[in-house]
Structure 1
């Protein structure tokens, strides 16, 4: 499998560049968290709970939905980069999570911003290019990794996607390819125009 020529591995190391609070955050292993979250979702799915709650689409459940997405993105990156990557649930105006991993004896960090192309029933007017355009507000965030969850059946013409002017380090896209959400696709190097696609089975999700 071809590994992406990305700079994620060298984003920030545990030295003066790393904000002190990042070192104090609690970090979670997606391989442990995802089965627990799946169990909760399965228990909710067989109740008479409204569909919005089942899909975690309420303001009260926003944190749980974002944790679910962060854990999936984290695990997909772990598989692609062959790194044991952990994620935080800490949120800031410039990031939704911090990912951390070890390069030998050195701990590295990456700020992560998560976006979503929501299902058509949630917002039929949402489109991928508008989401990408909104990333221009992260000016000066050249170490920011952005993951966009594609949560609808969508044919993406990457030749039509415009990422000019974005000041982020990497743009990724990911989404389930089966109704059971046991199979996922990860798309990388979106900003380079040479998109690489990776397919994974995540039976524990």
Structure 2
């Protein structure tokens, strides 16, 4: 899971990108084993259930604790209302039930202001390459649409699986940041990464 990911209570960025990604018209993305589809309100229950799993939530720094289905629905509604600039996908295996989330959104983040990648996957599917497959497909679509843009990501330092996903796809480590983790109740070190058209290596 990307440490600076989701689902969180987001607000529209004050610094708007020169080119936007539109949730309302985002494309469905299909891989050999997955379908990445647009989030929908009924996903709130599976998102909220996943946020009760400490294995997931401890790797997502910005998730409020506790996190209920109403919080997930509020987050989805922000996407639907265009209050978040970007794309938000449910990771599925047949276009049906949500098994994880993956997003790209614009964030005001100092010298890392720009497009940020975030993701998580249900632990029952860890270790089978599904996250690498999903991230590769989304990043490839992003780069094709937003040529020349940098995509930022990262992971908490004790999350080697997420860092391995990023490394496989050509994300470069650019430094470290100390970020407050709501689930852990303390500051945690985050490894900052980024990828561009020139460094991306699709899986």
TM-score, L = length of structure 2? 0.34
TM-score, L = length of structure 1? 0.34
Larger Rg: 1
Higher relative contact order structure (alpha carbons within 8 Å, sequence separation ≥ 6):
2
